[in-house]
Structure 1
Amino acid sequence: MAANSHTMPITIEADDIDFMGHVNNARYLGWVQDVVLAHWNKLAPAEEAARIAWVALKHEITYRKPAFLADDINATTVLEKVAGARAFYNTVIARGEEVLAEIKSMWCCLDKDSLRPSRIDRDVAEQCFGLPRKQDTYRGD
């Protein structure tokens, strides 16, 4: 697994199921948040993780197939690029090899004290998350 990806198992709870008998679409957003934050906290240096908070700016979800209570599913997220205070993730929620949903999301990095946007350190993006040193991958805007 590449440094810029992270996979976590998902436990489907009875409260996740809607009136149609499958996981409610809104629940997928919670799973995306869980896997993105777990990815950041796993790979970022402790001082960076303590300094930074994350807020979602945008999610684009493509639902492929429903998930059900007894399903064994995973969420895998990949940090595609960093641009200043923004991070761009692609997440796949799958049951085995079967893709249930694909999510593209944009997140903003905030300083926990000021709650203002804060750049992601270039060295953290390169060394901890495996992002290559390219102008189009890490922009200072």
Structure 2
Amino acid sequence: MSAKPFSFPIKVLPADIDFMGHVNNARYLNWVQDTVLAHWQKLAPAEEVASKAWVALKHEITYRKPAFLDDEVIAETVLEKIKGARSFYNTVIRRGEDVLAEVKSMWCCLDSDTHRPARISAEVAERYFGITRKGEAPTG
């Protein structure tokens, strides 16, 4: 069982388009980063947002269909679990019902001042993200 999905609208810009006329594959990574960071900034308390930073550790992308200029694209991400300073997200990028890409990613939470790994407190994980420290959604 996982936490509630977070949706993030994406505007495809002319700079996103490659020589083949569709969105360059590298832009999908930017979209995932934008989505995960927006999720954190929207749900976490202001003091947590100010004191923490995020870096990507790993992305695994499966591309399904291309995106094009003026497409209405949505990235939907779910924080699946938290383990130590690491958070594991699943993000699906869609155009309507069409899945454009599926991304599994691992992120490390850092202390903004020291840049050292920092854990998200159990209270913040559960209260704001619906994740227990063991990575399970709360039951009630």
> 2:90 — aligned with what?
90
Q: Secondary structure at the match of 2:22?
A: coil
> 2:134 — aligned with what?
135
Q: CA RMSD in A?
A: 1.6
Instruction: Give the letter aligned to residue 128 of structure 1.
Output: Y
**Contact 2:3 2:80 (8 Å CA) reproduced:** no
Alpha-carbon separation, structure 2, partners of 1:61 and 1:22: 17
- Gaps in structure 1 of 5+ consecutive residues: none
State the identity %.
68
Structure 1 residues 136 and 27: alpha-carbon distance in aligned structure 2, compared to 1, 3 A threshold: closer
> 2:64 — aligned with what?
64
The count of residues paired between Structure 1 and Structure 2 equals 136
- Per-residue deviation, 1:134: 6.3
Instruction: Give the letter aligned to residue 47 of structure 1.
Output: E
- Gaps in structure 2 of 5+ consecutive residues: none
Q: Secondary structure at the match of 1:26?
A: helix
**Contact 2:82 2:135 (8 Å CA) reproduced:** no
Q: Where in structure 1 do 4 or more consecutive aligned residues deviate above 6 Å?
A: none
Q: Secondary structure at the match of 1:41?
A: helix
**Contact 2:3 2:130 (8 Å CA) reproduced:** yes
TM-score (norm 1): 0.91
**Contact 1:93 1:102 (8 Å CA) reproduced:** yes
Structure 1 residues 55 and 127: alpha-carbon distance in aligned structure 2, compared to 1, 3 A threshold: same
Instruction: Give the letter aligned to residue 71 of structure 1.
Output: D
